[in-house]
Amino acid sequence: MSDGGNATPGQHRVPDDGEQVSRAPRPAAGAAPWERAPAAHRAPEASTPSGNHTQGVTVADLIAKISGSTPAVEPTRHRADVTPTDDSEAPADFDESADLTVPIPVVAAYADEVPDLEALNRARGPLAANPSPAALHTSAPAAKKKKTKTRARKPVLLAGRSAAALFAVSALVLTGGAWQWQSTKNDLLRNVAALDPNSRDIVDPNAQFGDENFLIVGVDTRTGANGEIGAGTTEDADGARSDTVMLVNVPADRKRVVVVSFPRDLAITPAYCQAWDADTGKYGPVVDKNTGETSDDYRYTETKLNSAYAYGGPKCLVKVIQKMSGLSINRFMAVDFAGFSKMVDALGGVDVCSTTPLEDYELGTVLASAGHQTLDGHTALNYVRARQVTTEVNGDYGRIKRQQLFLSSLLRSIISKDTLFSLSKLNNVVNMFIDDTYVDNVRTKDLVDLGQSLQGVNAGRITFVTVPTTGITDSDGNEQPRTEDIRALFDAIINDDPLPGENDTNATTSPMIAAQKTLQAAKPSPDDQTTQTELVNAVTTDPQDISVQVSNATGQDGLAATAAAALRQHGFRVLDPDDFTGTVTATTVMFSAGNEQAAATVAAAFPGAKMERVDGQKNTVQVVLGPDFSTVGAPPPSGSTVSVHVSHNARSTPTQLPEDLTVTNAADVTCE
């Protein structure tokens, strides 16, 4: 069970003897084995770095291959069952002009939401119900009609009309793009303020245009139904914490999926966030149940990642992850333990494969045997939560690996035809979101549309990655992030660079191992590089937060020192000036991705200066003085919006990633 008390506001964890669970001594924390994999086991180089490939195997095809079955073909037409008519109950006289059908609600051809078929069935009633006496003609007819004719026309007439209505509704449901659920279900979703689309931490917003970035959070809370499923009670851990954090990137072309896992104990810089009350789901001062004290409206988190949600809720966690990743998070979902369990049950269970039985020091027996097996909701919850497994020596990293393998199977199931074209399964999953999930900018329609857009994605292009850490914890038990490697990982995601293990194959014969050589391509010659220019809308920042390097590319001595002194007067942090070894035709501000705001602030002080995005600048902005340089002006006030043109070389080589990056590929269905 997670050490939730660490991140509970106002409750700092102090170990004591009585708190430990009786068990064998735990092994020391360290990097996961797959993070130390030797180069000899690296995956072969992919022949094609990215893109959609017609020769690849889709997720639906992969599921069929694994199960040994063929994909089910959904019927496009439904025949209404005609209720047999008892001759003895049929009236002798029947007025053909009477409208005996029960009105069916009108369904717009392009409605925003799919009609509720269950509601329609309730409203419509029996398909060929007997007409009420009031609907019958009571006077004697001039000529008596034949009974056989009357009995034959009545069910055919009603069944024909009802069948046509059913076919029309079914056609709407199965029409591409019409998988949009009832608006009433969207109204029941628990919406919460989480997103910050105008954050200055977003790196290269233009390069992310059209991308879908979901922040998905597994919440550790013991309230309500969560306290009844064996996950502990509020006496064990009050409040709510993020137990699992995953950032899902789906690029605009929908040709791959990247899921980045963050260890729950990842070390962070304390963030200043508005207080969050997990019990009410509201932001603002929080009253401590035990002491009665009221917190400030804003407060700092602790130094562990899971404290961001505990102290500041969804909004604070988005802030921390967005700053770390630079991704523009545009959708948020948080599901608790009970919701996760119900989702797995709604899908009929999820298939996993374990190389050994799974025994946890705290949860007990999770899996009694090894091999392939289908987990129900309760077992699946323990499978992805277990952190003290007897056969694992890597703590949270072993859990993350299991989560990635589990979600690989879950994702294959969710975006399969079996789920997307099963109204009952979709309805069950939607109901789970209604009851046990907080969302921001997420509707049921969005989820289904996204799933449909991924139908053709090859399973080998669904990649799970863990943010790189040192593998060594500090005195507080926090995992230390490798900041530069994390930046390289997210730069590769933003630039749609190929990732380790991405492939277009079917199920692999051995587990995917990250390998830097899978990323390397022939280095292009200068002639192969093409310069691109884009318009970037940036917000200026405080000069005191910007480090500037001034370099002189002219033959005039002392020019860089003069410009550096002027920048210092305006509050910039200026490094020692130097000479530029190359040549420029005009004053140029150079910066690396992620520092657009800082670069725009510096460029505003040099009238007519060009901006160029380059590699290797890190967090320093370099000003190269050209022959056009004349003076240094005052930068605009912090927070001003400026539009600048940025040039950069179109790279044909991918971002260099660390060799020990931990990767799980959705095409990996081995059990080794």
The domain that holds 605 is classified in CATH as: 3.30.70.2390
pLDDT at 102: 43
State mean pLDDT over 326-350.
Answer: 86
Burial of 20 (0-12, 13-18, 19+ CB in 10 A): exposed
53 and 97 share a domain? no
Q: What is the pLDDT of residue 253?
A: 85
Residues 226 and 282 reside in one and the same domain: yes
Rounded to 5 degrees, what are φ and ψ at 136? -95, 150
pLDDT in tens, 102-143: 444 444 333 344 444 444 444 444 434 444 444 444 444 444
Which residue, among 393, 384, 460, has the nearest Cα to 667 in the 3D structure?
Answer: 460
Residue from 359, 425, 439 nearest 392 by CA: 359
Given 174, 202, 229, which residue is the final one in a domain?
174
CA angle 416, 418, 424 (to 5 degrees): 125
pLDDT tier at 65, thresholds 50, 70, 90: low
Would 668 be classed as within a structural domain? no
Report the chain's mean pLDDT, rounded to a whole number.
73
pLDDT band for position 269 (50/70/90)? very high
| Ramachandran angles phi, psi of 471, nearest 5° | 80, 5
Q: Would you say how long the chain is, in residues?
A: 672
Q: Is residue 268 part of a domain?
A: yes
- The answer to whether 308 touches 274, Cβ cutoff 8 Å, is no
Classify residue 659: in a domain, yes or no.
no
Q: Which residue intervals of 102-207 are DSSP H helices? A: 117-124, 147-174, 183-188
Q: Please, what's the b/e burial string for 243-268 (b: 16 or more CB within 10 A of its CB; e: otherwise)?
A: bbbbbbbbbeebbbbbbbbbbbbbbb
Same domain, 167 and 208: no
Contact between 469 and 32 under an 8 Å Cβ cutoff? The reply is no
Residues 162 and 264 in one domain: no
Whether residue 564 sits in one domain with residue 500: no
Write phi, then psi, for 426 (nearest 5 degrees): -60, -40
Tell me if 494 is assigned to some domain.
Answer: yes
Give the pLDDT confidence of 513-525 residue by residue, as tens digits: 333 333 333 333 4
- Of 456, 486, 518, the residue at which a domain comes to its end is 518
The percent of residues above 70 in pLDDT, for the chain, comes to 60
Contacts of 526 (CB under 8 A, 6+ apart): none
Question: Are 129 and 102 in contact, with CB atoms under 8 Å apart?
Answer: yes
The dihedral region occupied by 281, where left means phi > 0, alpha psi between -120 and 50, and beta the remainder, is: left
Q: Which residue has the higher pLDDT, 560 or 426?
A: 560
Candidate ranges 23-32, 89-98, 378-387, 431-440; pick with highest mean pLDDT: 378-387
- State whether 238 and 374 are in the same domain: yes
Whether 505 and 547 map to the same domain: the answer is no
User: Looking at the domain assignment, is residue 655 inside a domain?
Assistant: no
Q: Which two tokens stand for residue 602?
A: 């510096």
Are residues 61 and 197 located together in one domain of the fold?
Answer: yes
345 plus 284 within the same structural domain: yes
Is 524 among the domain residues?
no
**Residues 572 and 600 placed together within one structural domain of the fold:** yes
Which of 164-173, 181-190, 493-502 bottoms out in mean pLDDT, i.e. has the lowest? 164-173
Domain count, the chain: 3
Using one digit for the tens of pLDDT, what is the confidence trace for 139-177? 444 444 444 444 444 444 444 444 444 444 444 443 333
Phi/psi-derived region of residue 364, left when phi > 0, alpha when psi is between -120 and 50, beta in every other case: left
Question: Band of the pLDDT at 254, cuts 50, 70, 90?
Answer: confident
* Same domain membership, residue 105 and residue 52: no
* Identity of residue 460: G
Which helix (H) or strand (E) covers residue 408, if one does?
helix 396-414
- pLDDT confidence of residue 236: 52
End residue of a domain, out of 493, 518, 543: 518
658: in domain: no
Please tell me whether residues 514 and 544 are part of one structural domain. no
Q: Is residue 170 part of a domain?
A: yes
Q: Closest Cα partner for 264 from 238, 245, 278?
A: 245
Averaging pLDDT over each range in 147-161, 534-548, 558-572, which range is the top one?
Answer: 558-572
What string of DSSP letters covers 194-252? Answer: ---TT-TT---GGGGTT-EEEEEEEEEE-SGGGGGTTS--TTT--SEEEEEEEEEEE-T
How large is the average pLDDT for residues 63-88? Answer: 48
- CATH, residue 360: 3.40.630.190
Query: What digits encode the pLDDT tens for the residues 386-401?
Result: 888 998 877 678 888 8
Range of the domain at 91: 87-174
